[in-house]
Amino acid sequence: MSASYQTIEHDVPQSYRDQILKWNGWGYTDSQFAINKDGHVTFTGDKYDISGKVMPHFRPWFENYLGIDLNYVSPAQKLSDVVIDAPVENEDLIEFLQENNISFSNAAKIRLMRAHGHTVHDMVNLREGKIPRLPDVVVWPKTEQEIVKIIEGAMSHNCAIIPIGGGTSVTNALDTPVTEKRAVISMDMALLDKILWIDRENLTCRAQAGIVGQSLERQLNKKGFTCGHEPDSIEFSTLGGWVSTRASGMKKNKYGNIEDLVVHINFVCPKGIIQKQCQVPRISSGPDIHQVILGSEGTFGVVSEVTIKIFPLPEVKRYGSFVFPNFENGVNFFREVASRRIQPASLRLMDNDQFVMGQALKVASDSWWASLKSSVSKMYITSWKGFKVDEICAATCVYEGSRDEVDQQEDRLNKLAEVFQGVIGGEENGQYGYRLTFAIAYLRDLGMNHGVLGESFETSVPWDKVLSLCRNVKELMRREAKAQGVKHPVLASCRVTQVYDAGACVYFYFGFNARGLSNGLQVYDRIETAARDEIIACGGSISHHHGVGKIRKQWMLTTNGAVGIALLKAIKSELDPANIFANANLIDIIGSPHSKL
Ligand SMILES: Cc1cc2nc3c(=O)[nH]c(=O)nc-3n(C[C@H](O)[C@H](O)[C@H](O)COP(=O)(O)OP(=O)(O)OC[C@H]3O[C@@H](n4cnc5c(N)ncnc54)[C@H](O)[C@@H]3O)c2cc1C
């Protein structure tokens, strides 16, 4: 990496982000899908269930399904070749940070590591060395008072601030707007990572906003509790990030989404600190101030501390799975589960494409018995039950509770599944499917190494529109890909991941072989934009939990209406009149250089 400026820094912490995370891909540096010496796909490292295992069926699936040649490599640039522009100079700010003993650095790699999230844009930019604009200096507040101080410093010295938690954003929310002329401070919350107290009586826990999900959960587990919030990004995303994006976890059916878990928030903004006077389960004091903070995506200020609900660790955790003859039966089963309110902690339905992909990702069985079992069950499903291999879909579930509760839940679900011709797929498959989620996040990097561009995006939709939305959006992605010149078959699949009384959350997975296209990223963009238009036309939402960031801003007006947007702007100008929190997420601010309104 080359940078032609002098690094200035003070008291830089040893951060896991700089030490064990990839600089241009997902997750831990030692963990990735790779091709082994026998030409099979394997997973490196030792952190996941599939680490060190071989997936003999994956390569054929990958090559046939997406028309890829794994011998063709589309290498990323090396870190040593990355050229980093000098930061916008602001000597007054640097003096201010030094005088106030605030940890900071403007070192090139430290800025780079905080310049992006994990959209396909972010990854392509990193791989091609084209990050348009980096933050100019990174600061690490150690206390809430330091956050207040840094905001004061930014106001006095004409700077902007972008808070960063785990950096797992998938909306370009962390990208520094290219039009920003002021020095931009990336406020890294990594040192605010402590649990402050656990209240066993009221089952609440107060923690600093920078605590990473897996650390929070591990510490709570040791004391006999869980917070129940388990997004797929839990290994790296933070409590403050969850609040700021209105996150949703895999087990929301039992524990709730982040907005259901939050009891109290401390929020530091240029106007001061927002905090309620009490920490009570519910309050009728006008519109809920927390709702303004939840989902604010770093545009109004900084979440510094949060009190959340906690729960005693469940006596029993059990996995389950079902196989359905087709997606429609699976969705109808989910609808019935929701209307009877018998959903287990987690319930996910994969369409046929994902089911097949999941099978392709199965590791080589190390016992002949395991492989026999799977071929016997394959025959049972296809020959005896008459399921068609190209229509089958599968659901995985997680039951948590007392032994009695779990037994009852499982029994009820097993019986109901039969009504929809569901076949019990067993605990092992359920556990495998659920845990595989964490490793699947690494798949895109393998694809990118071989010319594939891909992303997942999600929506929420009323029950009566789930099937038509899924069908239409998948069809549209295939059609649009052809129209945009994609020569190979595409991955256009979906899964239902969360159920509600009034509807469900649906994830789409889209990927294509961009080899031979000169403008792969633009093609990707056009297809995703068309897909989002289709989602909205089919009655879906702008996002169920990923949020808006910059990539979905264009649908904010349609979503909230002109008066709603005016209200958001009024809140912004009241809390942050000088637009210090200038990451340009959610809405465009009148008067700012990027304003289109
Ligand atoms: C593989 C993968 C799986 C994912 N799975 C899920 C999932 O299951 N559920 C889900 O909801 N999301 C998921 N996401 C999206 C992402 O993890 C969430 O949006 C998460 O809540 C972001 O948290 P973070 O700490 O990483 O925030 P960051 O990515 O660091 O920041 C996100 C936004 O919040 C702001 N922000 C962060 N911390 C603060 C703070 N303390 N104060 C003010 N603003 C702040 C940032 O400025 C930015 O605008 C996934 C992402 C990936 C890459």
d(CA 189, CA 209): 7
What's the length of the chain?
A: 597
Has 297 been labeled as part of a binding site? yes
Q: How far does residue 167's CA lie from ligand 1's centre (Å)?
A: 6
Mean pLDDT of 253-271: 98
- Identify the CA nearest to 62 among candidates 456, 387, 439, 444: 444
Q: Which token pair is 521?
A: 């990223």
Q: At a CB cut-off of 8 Å and minimum separation 6, what does 421 contact? A: 324, 325, 329, 385
Q: How far does residue 214's CA lie from ligand 1's centre (Å)?
A: 14
From 212, 227, 245, the mutation candidate for ligand 1 (largest count of ligand atoms within 8 A of CB) is: 245
Q: What is the pLDDT of residue 359?
A: 86
pLDDT over threshold 80, residue 370: no
Fold for 451-551, please state it: GMP Synthetase; Chain A, domain 3 (3.30.300)
Return the CATH number of the domain spanning residue range 195-312: 3.30.465.10
Ligand 1: which atom is nearest the Cα of residue 162?
47
Q: What is the pLDDT of residue 74?
A: 87
Q: Is the CB of 298 under 6 A from ligand 1?
A: yes
In this structure, the number of other CB atoms found within 10 A of the CB of residue 158 comes to 14
For 470-479, write each residue's pLDDT tens digit.
Answer: 999 999 999 9
Q: What is the pLDDT of residue 432?
A: 80
Q: Cβ distance 191 to 181 under 8 Å?
A: no
SS3 label, residue 43: strand
Per-residue pLDDT band for 591 (boundaries 50, 70, 90) equals very low
Q: Cβ distance 347 to 397 under 8 Å?
A: yes
Mean pLDDT of 292-320: 97
d(CA 105, CA 188): 11
Q: What is the pLDDT of residue 434?
A: 75
- State the CATH class of domain 553-596: mainly alpha
In this structure, the number of other CB atoms found within 10 A of the CB of residue 571 comes to 15
Q: Cβ distance 503 to 487 under 8 Å?
A: no
Q: What is the pLDDT of residue 428?
A: 84
Per-residue pLDDT band for 264 (boundaries 50, 70, 90) equals very high
SS3 label, residue 37: coil
Q: What is the pLDDT of residue 427?
A: 86
Return the CATH number of the domain spanning residue range 9-24+76-188: 3.30.43.10
Q: How far does residue 121's CA lie from ligand 1's centre (Å)?
A: 16
Lowest mean pLDDT among 8-17, 348-357, 588-597: 588-597
Per-residue pLDDT band for 590 (boundaries 50, 70, 90) equals low
Mean pLDDT of 116-140: 95
Q: Which token pair is 229?
A: 């919030």
Which of the following is catalytic: 28, 507, 509, 524? Answer: 507
Mean pLDDT value across the chain: 93
d(CA 588, CA 455): 25
Contacts for 530-537 with beta carbons within 8 Å, 24 or more apart? 530/476, 530/477, 530/480, 531/457, 531/473, 531/476, 531/477, 531/480, 532/457, 534/472, 534/473, 534/476, 535/459, 535/461, 535/469, 535/473
Ligand 1: which atom is nearest the Cα of residue 163?
47
SS3 label, residue 510: strand
Q: Delimit the domains of the chain by residue range.
A: 9-24+76-188, 195-312, 451-551, 553-596
Q: At a CB cut-off of 8 Å and minimum separation 6, what does 148 contact? A: 268, 273
Of the chain, the percentage scoring pLDDT greater than 90 comes to 84
For 495-533, write each residue's pLDDT tens digit.
Answer: 999 999 999 999 999 999 999 899 999 999 999 999 999
In this structure, the number of other CB atoms found within 10 A of the CB of residue 83 comes to 12
pLDDT over threshold 80, residue 382: no
For 143-169, write each residue's pLDDT tens digit.
Answer: 999 999 999 999 999 999 999 999 999
Q: At a CB cut-off of 8 Å and minimum separation 6, what does 480 contact? A: 526, 527, 530, 531
Has 516 been labeled as part of a binding site? no
In this structure, the number of other CB atoms found within 10 A of the CB of residue 58 comes to 24
Has 108 been labeled as part of a binding site? no
d(CA 386, CA 289): 55
- Identify the CA nearest to 312 among candidates 205, 421, 431: 205
For 213-247, write each residue's pLDDT tens digit.
Answer: 999 999 999 999 999 999 999 999 999 999 999 99
In this structure, the number of other CB atoms found within 10 A of the CB of residue 403 comes to 11
Q: How far does residue 242's CA lie from ligand 1's centre (Å)?
A: 6
Helix, strand, coil percentages for the chain (3-state, nearest 5): 35, 20, 40
d(CA 376, CA 392): 16
Q: Is the CB of 166 under 6 A from ligand 1?
A: yes
Ligand 1: which atom is nearest the Cα of residue 497?
8
Mean pLDDT of 80-104: 96
DSSP structure class, residue 594: T
Lowest mean pLDDT among 315-324, 367-376, 482-491: 367-376
Q: How far does residue 78's CA lie from ligand 1's centre (Å)?
A: 27
Mean pLDDT of 289-308: 98
Residue reference for tokens 């996995």:
319
SS3 label, residue 490: coil
Q: What is the pLDDT of residue 268?
A: 98
Has 444 been labeled as part of a binding site? yes
Catalytic-residue membership of 507: yes
Mean pLDDT of 267-289: 95
> Which DSSP string corresponds to 156-224?
HTTEEEEEESSS--SSSTTSPPTT--SEEEEEE-TT---EEEEETTTTEEEEETT-BHHHHHHHHHHTT
Which residue, judged by its Cα, is nearest atom 11 of ligand 1? Answer: 247
DSSP structure class, residue 132: -
> Which DSSP string corresponds to 271-336?
TEEE--S---S---SSS-THHHHTT-TTSS-EEEEEEEE-EEPPSEEEEEEEEESSHHHHHHHHHH
Q: What is the pLDDT of residue 593?
A: 44
From 185, 217, 233, 460, the mutation candidate for ligand 1 (largest count of ligand atoms within 8 A of CB) is: 233
For 530-585, write each residue's pLDDT tens digit.
Answer: 999 999 999 999 999 999 999 999 999 999 999 999 999 999 999 999 999 999 99
